[in-house]
Amino acid sequence: MTLYLDYAASTPVDPAVAAVMAAALADPELQGNPSAVHAPGRAAAARIEAARAQVAALIGARPAEILWTSGATEANNLAVLGAARFRASRGRHVVTSSTEHASVVGACRQLEREGFAVTWLDPDGDGLLDAQQVAAALRPDTTLVSIMAVNNETGVVQDVAAIGAVCRARGVLFHVDAVQAAGREPLDVGAQQIDLLSISGHKFYGPKGAGALFVNGRTLRRVEPLLHGGGQERGLRPGTLATHQLVGLGLAAELAGARLDADRRAQSALREALWAAIARVPGVLLNGHRARRACHILNVSVEGVEGESLLLALEALAVSSGAACGAASGEPSAVLRRLGRSDALAQASIRFSVGRATTAADIDAAAAAFVAGVAHLRRIAPAAA
């Protein structure tokens, strides 16, 4: 049986979430279109609004500031493209980092094709950006900064409050990809001065295919929609809402908020135990800042082995060599290369990510498999890093 240690890629649906979704699918009173004015439609709409309040509470927002999306890729695209296009008359300059998720990178590349200027900030060797680095990149025509809260490959946590303060002082919108942070790091869009924030349900034990975008009603109110036709979500994200998906997302958000402190303590301890066990192997290098990291992610590079062989040697473990969205490319991690790793070390990297169901015995088994796998590879096919 495969030992699952890829919670950064996707978490299993919480049983309570699965139950409430199944109940919503079977409930004859919730089968109406939420846009309809008849009783079944109003009943579905009411459940969706309750879920909106649950998601808003997780990030310190107001329910009216939550827009439903199909997940983080759509939310990130809607935030970056929608906000930049909506404010294009004020300026056409965007600031982001070179280590963002592919959905933010892709959206910024699209803006460049449309004539926008994008400044790509490189983090330091630990994966951190400094707020003053962001401040120095701002120009009179800058309208948007997009920086993720927790890096999806290394787990490095950025100081989004400090960056938010810089942006607010200059009247620049601040978007945060909080996909890996939601349910794992405290989030407060008001205190952190965030204008747009993206989350995805399947990263915190909710359903796949359901996410949300926070749009600050005090600083922005609207973005340019990506889709047209239909008035749902104030016309910013049209389309019939999936009642059962959003009911599940709402409960997952509520549970994530209630369990935040306990989950952080437990998962940090497991992550540290794993690092302590595998750090004894010569040539195992930690990727990302030692302390400024989320509770669930441990990313390491291994000297003297070949990347694809390393994954095969760990076939009993469900782990990844980088972001889940880029797992099929076979290319060395762009994030790790930006942190100064060679192509060989970037490719010979493993991202372990723990979750609620991970046990101390799982960590012991994973460490034993890793130590044995690396020793085996170095014995049969030593490679220069």
Mean pLDDT of the chain: 95
- Give, for 177, the enclosing helix (H) or strand (E): strand 173-177
Region of 198 (left: φ > 0; alpha: ψ -120 to 50; beta: rest) is beta
Which residues are CB-neighbours of 262 under 8 A, at least 6 positions away?
A: none
Q: Please write the tens of the pLDDT for every residue from 65-92.
A: 999 999 999 999 999 999 999 999 999 9
Angle separating helix axes 39-59 and 243-278, nearest 10 degrees: 30
**CA atoms of 267 and 113, how far apart (whole Å):** 41
Mean pLDDT throughout 132-140? 98
Q: Say which residue, 321 or 209, is predicted with more confidence.
A: 209
Q: Could you give the CA distance from residue 371 to residue 279 in angstroms, rounded to a whole number?
A: 10
| Model confidence at 384: pLDDT above 50 | no
What's the CA gap between 117 and 226, in Å, rounded?
20
pLDDT score recorded for residue 203: 98
Q: What pLDDT digit, counting tens, does each position of 148-191 carry?
A: 999 999 999 999 999 999 999 999 999 999 999 999 999 999 99
pLDDT at 111 over 70: yes
Q: State yes or no: pLDDT of 383 exceeds 90.
A: no
Q: Return the amino acid letter for 302.
A: V
C-beta atoms surrounding 246 within 10 Å: 28
Query: Residue 174: enclosing H or E segment and its boundaries?
Result: strand 173-177
**Domains of the chain by start residue, with CATH:** 3-9+260-380 (3.90.1150.10)
Beta bridge partners of 120: 96
Residue 221 pLDDT grade (very low, low, confident, very high; cuts 50, 70, 90): confident
**How far is residue 3's CA from residue 364's CA, in Å, rounded to a whole number?**
11
Beta strand pairing call for 93-97 and 3-4: unpaired
Inter-CA distances, 229 with 38, 237, 308, Å: 22, 9, 46
- Determine the 3-state secondary structure of 171 from DSSP: coil
* 113 contacts: CB under 8 Å, gap ≥ 6: none
pLDDT greater at residue 170 or residue 1 = 170
Residues taking part in catalysis: 325
pLDDT of residue 308: 86
- pLDDT in the model for residue 330: 60
pLDDT band at 230 (very low <50, low <70, confident <90, very high): confident
**β-strand 297-302 against 349-353: which pairing, if any?**
antiparallel
What's the pLDDT at 321? 84
Cβ count near 376 (within 10 Å): 13
Task: Point out the least confidently predicted range of 122-136, 148-162, 221-235, 322-336.
Answer: 322-336
- pLDDT for the residue numbered 329: 53
Tokens standing for residue 238: 């049209």
C-alpha separations of 237 from 72, 77, 87 in Å: 14, 12, 18
Q: Are strands 173-177 and 196-200 parallel, antiparallel or unpaired?
A: parallel
Residues 351-361: what's their mean pLDDT? 98
**Mind listing the pLDDT tens digit for each residue in 297-353?**
999 999 999 888 999 999 999 999 865 454 455 678 899 999 999 999 999 999 999
Predicted model pTM: 0.95
